[in-house]
A and B are shown apart, each in its own frame.
Chain A
């Protein structure tokens, strides 16, 4: 009974009888069966079972089945022919339906991908378009500015209350640069400013461990030199930000000049009054007080004019210089543990974020998904059954 005594398992014997053993194994089994009475008995049993089972025969199918099938086949082939006539040649080469379906799927997929790409790239494109517009715009502005400044630079009588020769514009510019060689760039900036007869109004350098140094400075450069200085500075590093503005102060200047002229005339008249004094001493004192007041006003207005002149003459240039930070390997010898710790912390946070995100998603979309799932389950099941039928 057991296979330990028996080199051929009974299941194997059955497979042999069924012709289901590979040739080489079948020969072994055949040789064994020759000698083994038990196996022969089992083989006889199997034979008997098959023989008995063969007694269960069924009547042949009736003619209507064949007739109905013939009719169905006729209809099928006619429909197919009709489809082939309608469909173009290439569709009939492959099975028509799945091809169309695949084609539709492909088109839908392509469309979806295009939509995705478009939705990502169009805002970017627009942004770069705007950026380039600005870029093309600024040289034009710069040229205009240069012309205006050229006109202005010729006539500059700072203290005299006279009409300015052209529009007076107070220029300010700001430039943010990133440079790898911080010290070199800083020296070059200062040299450029000096070379163009500018000066430093304010300058701060700061630097923190773990990041590069940065410099913030305000320079004053002659307005007609501003463009040249900026061009030079821009060569020193990558420009991160650049801005320029101009404030028209002509009106203010004219106004101030007129008021100054008036004040001077008042002062003159008061002086004349004082020289030809005929009144009482109280009147004289009043006049002197008035002269002092007007004198103060004149000085203030002169200072304002001077300031305006200077602002117009010297443009203000704000420069921010950042050092491009390079992580230093030798600077962080002991931080492997810390970094692992930080990474573990990050991992934990990411996991928490992810789980939270998933939960948020499930909470916000779960009801909808359940709703649609419930609605679509039966049709989908039906379709699946149909497909498999």
Chain B
């Protein structure tokens, strides 16, 4: 594979990602990495800005992966506390986003280890969608929960966290081709889980 730019700025594809587009505009002002360096030098404002940018995303990250609101909130808080504590260790080699999600993934793994004895996530469902159709949300959540764990993580990082293949690869410490194949498998599996139930009326099942 040809080397890629991890920001993905030089790639073209169908413009179906309004969220990414919005993020790019944000980053053109002051990048996360610049803010992080400012924060390292002691700027409180820089930290506040980073927190504002990532608060909902980190909270959402946990909210989709753990069962209760309180745990998600606590884990999100822990993530930013980790950012505060480890600020001296951050090196601008890594993208800030990868760094932050790295902390989050680590905390998530620790949380899952602790609650391993309890029921698997995705089984006890609390309907949670504030916006959109609660039934649809529940249905997607159940379907996603049925995916293989490796594939599910890649798919969620791609679809909900909007991370690039390279970022996912470095977060999960797997080769980029593994990310691609897992993502491909996850999407086909999820299509099988989602489309036949509702999709019968829209598309014939292949």
Contact = CB atoms under 8 A, between A and B. Distances in A.
Decide if the interface of chain B is mainly helix, strand, loop or mixed.
Answer: helix
10 contacts: A49-B191, A53-B160, A55-B129, A58-B63, A58-B128, A66-B51, A69-B81, A76-B84, A80-B42, A389-B86
A23 B88 contact: no
B42 A84 contact: yes
A61 interface: yes
Interface string A289-329: 00000000000000000000000000000000000000000
A371 interface: no
B158 interface: yes
Nearest to A12: B180
B129 A56 contact: yes
A75 B10 CA distance: 41
B116 interface: no
A18 B158 contact: yes
Contacts of A17: 13-14, 16
Contact of A55 (B42, B59, B103, B137): B137
Interface string B64-93: 100001000100110011101011110000
Given A58-B64, A389-B107, A20 B11 contact: yes
A22 B63 contact: no
Contacts of B16: 17, 47, 50
A11 interface: yes
Contact of A22 (B4, B81, B84, B131): B4
Contacts of B17: 19
Contacts of B20: 19
A376 B42 CA distance: 36
Nearest to A93: B41
Given A23-B11, A53-B140, A59-B63, A69 B199 contact: no
Interface residues of A, number: 55
Nearest to A386: B85
B2 interface: yes
A49 B190 contact: yes
Contacts of B56: 60-61
Decide if the interface of chain A is mainly helix, strand, loop or mixed.
Answer: helix
B184 A14 contact: yes
Interface residues of B, number: 70
Contacts of B51: 66, 69, 73
Given A45-B195, A52-B190, A388-B106, 13 more contacts: A11-B184, A18-B158, A19-B11, A20-B164, A41-B206, A44-B203, A49-B191, A53-B159, A54-B159, A62-B69, A74-B44, A77-B47, A389-B107
B187 A73 contact: no
Interface in A4-25: 10-11, 14-23, 25
A335 B4 CA distance: 62
A72 B132 contact: no
Contacts of A173: none
B4 A52 contact: no
4 tightest A-B CB contacts, nearest first: A95-B88, A19-B13, A55-B136, A61-B59
A366 B2 CA distance: 50
Interface string B148-166: 0000000100111000110
A52 B184 contact: no
Task: Find the residue from B12, B80, B160, B199 having the highest chain A CB count within 10 A.
Answer: B12
B11 A96 contact: no
B59 A26 contact: no
A77 B42 contact: yes
A337 interface: no
Contacts of A95: 40, 87-89
Contacts of A20: 4, 8, 11, 13, 164-165, 180
A98 interface: yes
A64 interface: yes
